[in-house]
Amino acid sequence: MHISILLVSLLGMGFIAAVFGFVVLNSGPRDEDFGGIAKRGYFIRLWWFIGLCAAGVLVSVWSLIPFPLQASSAESPRIIQAVGRQWSWELASNSVETGEPVRFRVTSQDVNHGFAIYGPDDKIVAQTQAMPGYFNDLDVTFEHAGKYRVLCLEYCGVAHHAMVAEIAVTEKH
């Protein structure tokens, strides 16, 4: 191999190495290149943070609003105690007006009964369990006047069928 070829090769490799070195030395980040972007980045980060805080507060407040089912009605219902026993119903009141919100507070003195209200057309209006030791609330607002009946919906002994009470619903005046 000629010495001149070796020299040319070394010179060429040296030149390429020098170019690489120059690029490497001059490719580091310089503040003046990123100053604007960094400023914009901090600006976006700040407003993203404020936005998340605001969203968190809004969601928290929104979660405190009660669902419609939990919201109590504007008019508080009239409470009527209803007690079942073998084999009759005892209602604290047997007369109600149409449009009047009523809450039957249903319990039993002995065994489980089924407290069911039937309309004048013999269709069931509402029902709940009458259980000893428990009070079950049954909310009813009667829309039509007439003679309603309370029947027992759970077999409770020989005279189960005799558990009948009447509710007279009159037109609101």
Stretch that binds ligand CUA, among 1-9, 44-52, 59-67, 153-161 (CB under 6 A): 153-161
Does residue 87 have a cis peptide bond before it, meaning omega lies within 30 degrees of 0?
A: yes
Residues 100 to 139: which contact ligand CUA by CB under 6 A?
A: 113
Q: Which of 155, 166, 170, 172 binds ligand CUA (CB under 6 A)?
A: 155
103 DSSP β-pair partners:
79, 139
CB of 168: closest distance to ligand CUA in angstroms?
22
Among 80, 150, 156, 165, binds ligand CUA (CB under 6 A): 156
Q: List the one residue from 82, 154, 167, 169 that touches ligand CUA (CB under 6 A).
A: 154
Instruction: Answer for the pair 82, 90: CB distance below 8 angstroms, yes or no.
Output: yes
With binding defined as CB under 6 A, does residue 91 bind ligand CUA? no
- How far is the C-alpha of 120 from the C-alpha of 91, rounded, in Å? 18
Closer CB to ligand CUA, 96 or 113, in the complex: 113
Number of residues interacting with ligand CUA: please give it, by CB under 6 A.
8
Alpha helix (H) residue ranges in the chain: 3-26, 31-64
* Spatial distance between the Cα atoms of 164 and 105, rounded to a whole number of angstroms: 17
- Residue 102: exposure state from Cβ atoms within 10 A (0-12, 13-18, ≥19): buried
102 touches 77 (CB < 8 A): yes
Least Å distance, CB 72 to ligand CUA, is 31
Residues that bind ligand CUA (CB under 6 A): 84, 113, 152, 154-156, 160, 163
